[in-house]
Protein backbone atom coordinates (compact mmCIF):
# COMPACT_ATOMS: atom_id res chain seq x y z
CA UNK A 1 0.00 0.00 0.00
CA UNK A 2 1.36 3.40 -0.92
CA UNK A 3 1.00 6.36 1.41
CA UNK A 4 -2.15 8.45 1.59
CA UNK A 5 -0.66 11.70 2.91
CA UNK A 6 -0.64 13.28 6.34
CA UNK A 7 -4.35 14.16 6.37
CA UNK A 8 -5.38 10.68 7.46
CA UNK A 9 -2.20 9.71 9.31
CA UNK A 10 -4.00 9.57 12.67
CA UNK A 11 -6.18 6.75 11.32
CA UNK A 12 -3.82 4.90 9.02
CA UNK A 13 -1.11 4.72 11.69
CA UNK A 14 -3.38 2.77 14.04
CA UNK A 15 -5.90 0.90 11.86
CA UNK A 16 -4.80 -2.64 10.90
CA UNK A 17 -7.24 -2.75 7.97
CA UNK A 18 -5.87 0.46 6.46
CA UNK A 19 -2.13 -0.03 7.05
CA UNK A 20 -0.30 -3.20 6.04
CA UNK A 21 2.73 -2.35 8.20
CA UNK A 22 0.73 -2.73 11.42
CA UNK A 23 -1.73 -5.38 10.18
CA UNK A 24 -0.09 -8.08 12.31
CA UNK A 25 0.68 -5.86 15.28
CA UNK A 26 -2.49 -4.00 16.24
CA UNK A 27 -5.90 -5.45 17.00
CA UNK A 28 -9.45 -4.60 16.06
CA UNK A 29 -12.80 -5.79 17.40
CA UNK A 30 -15.89 -6.37 15.28
CA UNK A 31 -19.20 -6.37 17.13
CA UNK A 32 -22.02 -8.43 15.55
CA UNK A 33 -24.97 -6.14 16.20
CA UNK A 34 -26.32 -5.81 12.63
CA UNK A 35 -28.00 -8.99 11.37
CA UNK A 36 -30.42 -7.44 8.85
CA UNK A 37 -29.42 -6.59 5.30
CA UNK A 38 -31.12 -4.43 2.67
CA UNK A 39 -29.60 -5.91 -0.48
CA UNK A 40 -29.22 -9.45 -1.78
CA UNK A 41 -25.71 -10.22 -3.02
CA UNK A 42 -25.72 -13.38 -5.10
CA UNK A 43 -22.47 -14.60 -3.51
CA UNK A 44 -23.47 -13.97 0.10
CA UNK A 45 -24.65 -16.47 2.70
CA UNK A 46 -25.19 -15.01 6.16
CA UNK A 47 -24.99 -17.36 9.12
CA UNK A 48 -25.75 -16.08 12.60
CA UNK A 49 -24.80 -19.20 14.61
CA UNK A 50 -21.57 -20.21 12.94
CA UNK A 51 -18.51 -21.01 15.06
CA UNK A 52 -16.51 -22.71 12.30
CA UNK A 53 -16.12 -20.56 9.19
CA UNK A 54 -13.78 -17.61 8.93
CA UNK A 55 -15.40 -15.30 6.41
CA UNK A 56 -17.59 -12.19 6.26
CA UNK A 57 -21.28 -12.66 6.97
CA UNK A 58 -20.90 -15.12 9.82
CA UNK A 59 -21.02 -14.71 13.58
CA UNK A 60 -21.63 -16.89 16.59
CA UNK A 61 -24.44 -14.69 17.86
CA UNK A 62 -26.04 -11.28 17.59
CA UNK A 63 -25.31 -8.80 20.36
CA UNK A 64 -27.35 -5.93 21.69
CA UNK A 65 -25.55 -2.57 21.77
CA UNK A 66 -25.13 -2.89 25.54
CA UNK A 67 -23.66 -6.40 25.18
CA UNK A 68 -21.27 -5.02 22.57
CA UNK A 69 -20.08 -2.24 24.88
CA UNK A 70 -19.41 -4.81 27.61
CA UNK A 71 -17.58 -7.02 25.11
CA UNK A 72 -15.33 -4.13 24.08
CA UNK A 73 -14.49 -3.52 27.73
CA UNK A 74 -13.63 -7.20 28.14
CA UNK A 75 -11.34 -7.51 25.12
CA UNK A 76 -9.61 -4.12 25.29
CA UNK A 77 -6.72 -5.06 27.56
CA UNK A 78 -2.97 -4.51 27.74
CA UNK A 79 -2.47 -8.04 26.39
CA UNK A 80 -4.79 -7.41 23.45
CA UNK A 81 -3.91 -4.04 21.90
CA UNK A 82 -7.29 -3.17 20.39
CA UNK A 83 -7.13 0.21 18.67
CA UNK A 84 -10.19 -0.04 16.42
CA UNK A 85 -13.82 -1.01 17.06
CA UNK A 86 -16.07 -1.63 14.12
CA UNK A 87 -19.48 -2.85 13.03
CA UNK A 88 -19.15 -5.30 10.15
CA UNK A 89 -22.44 -7.13 10.09
CA UNK A 90 -23.22 -9.94 9.81
CA UNK A 91 -25.76 -8.02 7.69
CA UNK A 92 -25.43 -4.39 6.67
CA UNK A 93 -24.51 -1.96 9.42
CA UNK A 94 -26.84 0.83 8.30
CA UNK A 95 -29.84 -1.45 7.81
CA UNK A 96 -29.87 -1.88 11.61
CA UNK A 97 -30.74 1.00 13.95
CA UNK A 98 -28.69 -0.75 16.65
CA UNK A 99 -25.55 0.43 14.85
CA UNK A 100 -26.32 4.08 15.56
CA UNK A 101 -27.23 3.27 19.17
CA UNK A 102 -23.95 1.40 19.62
CA UNK A 103 -21.83 4.22 18.22
CA UNK A 104 -23.66 6.74 20.41
CA UNK A 105 -22.79 4.71 23.51
CA UNK A 106 -19.25 3.94 22.39
CA UNK A 107 -18.56 7.59 21.56
CA UNK A 108 -19.67 8.59 25.05
CA UNK A 109 -17.73 5.83 26.80
CA UNK A 110 -14.58 5.53 24.66
CA UNK A 111 -14.16 8.67 22.55
CA UNK A 112 -10.49 7.92 21.81
CA UNK A 113 -11.03 4.53 20.16
CA UNK A 114 -10.97 4.55 16.37
CA UNK A 115 -14.50 3.77 15.23
CA UNK A 116 -15.16 2.17 11.87
CA UNK A 117 -17.99 0.56 9.98
CA UNK A 118 -18.55 -1.44 6.81
CA UNK A 119 -21.61 -1.03 4.61
CA UNK A 120 -22.96 -1.78 1.16
CA UNK A 121 -23.53 1.97 0.87
CA UNK A 122 -27.23 1.97 0.05
CA UNK A 123 -28.06 4.10 3.11
CA UNK A 124 -24.71 5.84 3.53
CA UNK A 125 -25.89 9.19 2.06
CA UNK A 126 -28.63 9.27 4.69
CA UNK A 127 -26.36 8.51 7.64
CA UNK A 128 -22.95 9.99 6.74
CA UNK A 129 -23.50 13.23 8.67
CA UNK A 130 -24.76 11.39 11.76
CA UNK A 131 -21.86 8.93 11.72
CA UNK A 132 -19.39 11.81 11.63
CA UNK A 133 -21.11 13.42 14.61
CA UNK A 134 -20.68 10.15 16.52
CA UNK A 135 -16.95 10.05 15.91
CA UNK A 136 -16.86 7.35 13.25
CA UNK A 137 -13.41 7.86 11.74
CA UNK A 138 -13.40 5.41 8.85
CA UNK A 139 -15.88 3.59 6.66
CA UNK A 140 -15.52 0.69 4.26
CA UNK A 141 -17.99 0.58 1.39
CA UNK A 142 -18.35 -2.59 -0.67
CA UNK A 143 -18.73 -1.61 -4.32
CA UNK A 144 -18.58 -4.47 -6.81
CA UNK A 145 -19.58 -2.58 -9.95
CA UNK A 146 -20.24 0.94 -11.20
CA UNK A 147 -21.90 -0.31 -14.41
CA UNK A 148 -25.57 -1.26 -13.84
CA UNK A 149 -25.38 -4.00 -16.48
CA UNK A 150 -22.68 -5.72 -14.44
CA UNK A 151 -24.20 -4.91 -11.06
CA UNK A 152 -27.57 -6.47 -11.94
CA UNK A 153 -25.79 -9.81 -12.31
CA UNK A 154 -24.27 -9.48 -8.83
CA UNK A 155 -27.36 -8.39 -6.86
CA UNK A 156 -30.81 -10.01 -6.97
CA UNK A 157 -32.61 -7.06 -5.37
CA UNK A 158 -32.40 -4.10 -3.01
CA UNK A 159 -34.85 -3.13 -0.27
CA UNK A 160 -35.07 0.64 -0.48
CA UNK A 161 -37.63 2.89 1.17
CA UNK A 162 -39.71 -0.18 1.94
CA UNK A 163 -39.79 -1.35 -1.69
CA UNK A 164 -38.16 -4.44 -3.18
CA UNK A 165 -36.48 -3.34 -6.42
CA UNK A 166 -34.82 -5.67 -8.91
CA UNK A 167 -32.76 -5.63 -12.06
CA UNK A 168 -31.09 -2.63 -13.65
CA UNK A 169 -33.25 -0.16 -11.74
CA UNK A 170 -32.00 -1.57 -8.44
CA UNK A 171 -28.42 -1.54 -9.68
CA UNK A 172 -28.64 2.12 -10.69
CA UNK A 173 -30.05 3.18 -7.31
CA UNK A 174 -27.42 1.20 -5.43
CA UNK A 175 -24.48 2.55 -7.46
CA UNK A 176 -25.73 6.13 -7.24
CA UNK A 177 -26.12 5.88 -3.47
CA UNK A 178 -22.76 4.15 -3.01
CA UNK A 179 -20.87 6.88 -4.84
CA UNK A 180 -22.81 9.65 -3.13
CA UNK A 181 -22.15 7.95 0.21
CA UNK A 182 -18.42 7.75 -0.46
CA UNK A 183 -18.44 11.44 -1.34
CA UNK A 184 -20.41 12.48 1.76
CA UNK A 185 -18.28 10.34 4.08
CA UNK A 186 -15.13 11.89 2.62
CA UNK A 187 -16.56 15.41 2.96
CA UNK A 188 -17.29 14.63 6.61
CA UNK A 189 -13.62 13.83 7.22
CA UNK A 190 -13.90 10.05 7.29
CA UNK A 191 -11.26 7.86 5.67
CA UNK A 192 -13.03 5.79 3.01
CA UNK A 193 -11.86 2.35 1.88
CA UNK A 194 -13.69 0.54 -0.91
CA UNK A 195 -13.91 -3.25 -0.89
CA UNK A 196 -14.55 -4.92 -4.23
CA UNK A 197 -15.22 -8.64 -4.62
CA UNK A 198 -13.34 -9.97 -7.64
CA UNK A 199 -15.66 -12.25 -9.66
CA UNK A 200 -13.91 -13.95 -12.61
CA UNK A 201 -15.70 -13.46 -15.90
CA UNK A 202 -18.02 -10.82 -14.47
CA UNK A 203 -16.17 -7.84 -13.00
CA UNK A 204 -12.48 -8.77 -13.26
CA UNK A 205 -11.98 -6.34 -16.17
CA UNK A 206 -14.17 -3.72 -14.50
CA UNK A 207 -12.11 -3.08 -11.36
CA UNK A 208 -10.17 -0.17 -12.86
CA UNK A 209 -13.49 1.52 -13.68
CA UNK A 210 -14.54 1.14 -10.05
CA UNK A 211 -11.18 2.53 -8.93
CA UNK A 212 -11.53 5.65 -11.08
CA UNK A 213 -15.06 6.38 -9.86
CA UNK A 214 -14.43 5.85 -6.16
CA UNK A 215 -11.22 7.88 -6.22
CA UNK A 216 -13.07 10.70 -7.97
CA UNK A 217 -15.60 10.67 -5.12
CA UNK A 218 -13.07 10.73 -2.30
CA UNK A 219 -12.04 7.15 -1.51
CA UNK A 220 -8.48 6.81 -0.22
CA UNK A 221 -7.90 3.08 -0.58
CA UNK A 222 -9.20 -0.04 -2.32
CA UNK A 223 -9.21 -3.65 -1.21
CA UNK A 224 -9.67 -6.34 -3.88
CA UNK A 225 -11.21 -9.45 -2.31
CA UNK A 226 -11.37 -12.86 -4.00
CA UNK A 227 -14.85 -14.27 -4.49
CA UNK A 228 -15.82 -17.00 -2.03
CA UNK A 229 -18.12 -19.09 -4.26
CA UNK A 230 -21.37 -19.46 -2.30
CA UNK A 231 -25.12 -19.20 -2.78
CA UNK A 232 -26.12 -18.33 -6.36
CA UNK A 233 -22.45 -18.01 -7.32
CA UNK A 234 -21.32 -21.34 -5.92
CA UNK A 235 -20.46 -22.57 -9.43
CA UNK A 236 -18.18 -19.60 -10.14
CA UNK A 237 -14.43 -20.10 -9.95
CA UNK A 238 -12.54 -18.45 -7.12
CA UNK A 239 -9.94 -16.14 -8.70
CA UNK A 240 -6.42 -17.52 -8.56
CA UNK A 241 -3.44 -15.63 -7.19
CA UNK A 242 -2.23 -14.48 -10.59
CA UNK A 243 -5.59 -12.88 -11.43
CA UNK A 244 -5.81 -11.21 -8.02
CA UNK A 245 -2.31 -9.76 -8.30
CA UNK A 246 -2.87 -8.62 -11.88
CA UNK A 247 -6.05 -6.76 -10.94
CA UNK A 248 -4.47 -5.27 -7.82
CA UNK A 249 -1.52 -3.99 -9.85
CA UNK A 250 -3.89 -2.42 -12.40
CA UNK A 251 -5.97 -0.76 -9.69
CA UNK A 252 -2.88 0.50 -7.87
CA UNK A 253 -2.05 2.64 -10.87
CA UNK A 254 -5.14 4.65 -9.89
CA UNK A 255 -5.56 4.37 -6.12
CA UNK A 256 -3.56 2.75 -3.28
CA UNK A 257 -4.43 -0.91 -2.69
CA UNK A 258 -4.59 -2.76 0.63
CA UNK A 259 -3.19 -6.27 0.15
CA UNK A 260 -3.32 -7.89 3.60
CA UNK A 261 -7.05 -8.45 4.15
CA UNK A 262 -7.96 -11.75 5.82
CA UNK A 263 -11.74 -11.49 5.09
CA UNK A 264 -12.72 -11.49 8.76
CA UNK A 265 -15.86 -12.67 10.48
CA UNK A 266 -18.41 -10.19 11.80
CA UNK A 267 -17.43 -11.04 15.39
CA UNK A 268 -13.64 -11.25 15.04
CA UNK A 269 -11.36 -9.53 17.51
CA UNK A 270 -7.66 -9.43 18.19
CA UNK A 271 -4.82 -9.16 15.70
CA UNK A 272 -5.91 -10.03 12.14
CA UNK A 273 -4.51 -13.26 10.77
CA UNK A 274 -2.81 -14.35 13.99
CA UNK A 275 -4.70 -17.48 14.96
CA UNK A 276 -3.43 -17.45 18.53
CA UNK A 277 -4.59 -13.85 18.97
CA UNK A 278 -7.37 -13.40 16.41
CA UNK A 279 -10.49 -14.71 18.11
CA UNK A 280 -14.23 -14.67 17.68
CA UNK A 281 -17.14 -14.95 20.08
CA UNK A 282 -17.68 -18.68 19.61
CA UNK A 283 -14.20 -19.29 21.02
CA UNK A 284 -14.74 -17.31 24.20
CA UNK A 285 -16.96 -17.14 27.31
CA UNK A 286 -18.67 -14.12 25.77
CA UNK A 287 -20.60 -16.48 23.47
CA UNK A 288 -23.51 -16.41 25.91
CA UNK A 289 -24.43 -12.87 24.81
- How many structural domains compose the chain? 1
Say if 5 falls within a structural domain: no
Domain span at 133: 14-282
CATH, residue 260: 3.20.20.70
Residue 288's pLDDT is what?
A: 35
Say if 245 falls within a structural domain: yes
Say if 2 falls within a structural domain: no
Say if 288 falls within a structural domain: no
Say if 6 falls within a structural domain: no
Residue 175's pLDDT is what?
A: 98
Residue 254's region, left for phi above 0, alpha for psi from -120 to 50, else beta, is: alpha
Say if 289 falls within a structural domain: no
**pLDDT in single tens digits along all 289 residues of the chain:** 334 444 455 555 554 444 444 445 566 688 899 999 999 999 988 666 655 555 556 667 888 999 989 988 887 765 666 778 889 878 999 999 999 999 999 999 888 888 999 999 999 999 999 999 999 999 999 999 999 999 999 999 999 999 999 999 999 999 999 999 999 999 999 999 999 999 999 999 999 999 999 999 999 999 999 999 999 999 999 999 999 999 999 999 999 998 865 556 667 665 544 543 445 555 444 433 3
Residue 100's pLDDT is what?
A: 96
The burial of 253, by beta-carbon neighbours within 10 Å (0-12 exposed, 13-18 middle, 19 or more buried), is given as exposed
Residue 5's pLDDT is what?
A: 45
Q: Which residues contact 201 (CB under 8 A, 6 or more apart)?
A: 236, 237
Say if 35 falls within a structural domain: yes
Residue 163's pLDDT is what?
A: 98
Say if 58 falls within a structural domain: yes
Residue 75's pLDDT is what?
A: 76
Residue 80's pLDDT is what?
A: 61
Amino acid sequence: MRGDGSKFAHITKAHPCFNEKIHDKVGRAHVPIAPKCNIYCNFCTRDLKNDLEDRPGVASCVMTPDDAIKHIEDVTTDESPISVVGVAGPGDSLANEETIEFFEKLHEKNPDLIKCMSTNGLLLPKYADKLAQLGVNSVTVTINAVDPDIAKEIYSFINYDGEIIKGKKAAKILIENQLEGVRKAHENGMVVKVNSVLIPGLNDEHMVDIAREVKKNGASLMNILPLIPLNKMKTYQRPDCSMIEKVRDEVEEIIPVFRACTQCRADAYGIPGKKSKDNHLGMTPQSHY
